[in-house]
Amino acid sequence: MSLDQELAAGYDEITVFLPPGLRLGELRADLFAAGYRAAPQRGAASGEASVPDLDPYAFQTRPTILRRLAAILAERLPDRLDRLVAASASAVPLTTAVALHTGLPFAVAGETTTSESPPLGDIHRGERIAVLAALTVSGDTAVRTAALVQAQGAEVCGVFTAVDRTQGASGLLDGAELDLHVLFPEGSADR
């Protein structure tokens, strides 16, 4: 059975009959299988040990994955949150899904976002905000987004990412005094 057939046949609802560990394990396998599939191999041309790219759109554009991801991430958000902010365009599908799941409004930061051109959508002074990413690598995008949110006078209550490629984001966010919450830290076993 192909990945497409398996995902189409599989349930995508959270069910009380599935233990949480199994639920997470199945989502992890589906997410990485979809994310690596179409992605090019970094370093392959230069002869270095190749590391596959992970395409955040490939796993977020499957409703069976996105719906479960949003439900699980929503459970991990802190209480008394006022808003979500997507750290980049590639975090918009996940942020939209979590917003629908929780009822929280959201704003979007993009590559062109600067202090003169703040994230799209409302952000109000004093709000408690979670920054959402589909994927963190160096953590730079998340840190820049958090700084822009803070520049609007809002409080960043953590950065939540579906996947961290374990290539430095936790150190960078630590240095910026931001809490990084990772659903799936990428390991060699995921490839």
* Site residues for ligand OMP per CB under 6 A: 53-54, 56, 88, 90, 135-141, 169
Cβ distance to ligand OMP smaller for residue 114 or 138: 138
Q: Which is nearer to ligand OMP, 127 or 180 (CB)?
A: 180
- List, as own/partner pairs, every contact residues 172-181 make where C-beta atoms lie below 8 angstroms and the sequence separation is at least 24, other chains included: 172/138, 172/139, 172/140, 172/143, 173/139, 173/142, 173/143, 176/143, 176/146, 176/147, 178/142, 178/143, 178/146, 180/136, 180/139, 180/142, 181/76
Compute the least distance from the CB of residue 134 to ligand OMP, in Å: 7
Find tokens 């430095």 and name the residue: 168
CB of 125 to ligand OMP, least distance (A): 26
- Which residue number, 127 or 162, has a Cβ lying nearer to ligand OMP? 162
Q: How far is the CB of 139 from ligand OMP (least distance, A)?
A: 5
Residues 6+ apart with CB under 8 A from 87: 109, 131, 132, 133, 141, 142, 145, 159
Nearer to ligand OMP, 102 or 136 (CB): 136
Closest approach, Cβ 171 to ligand OMP, in A, equals 12
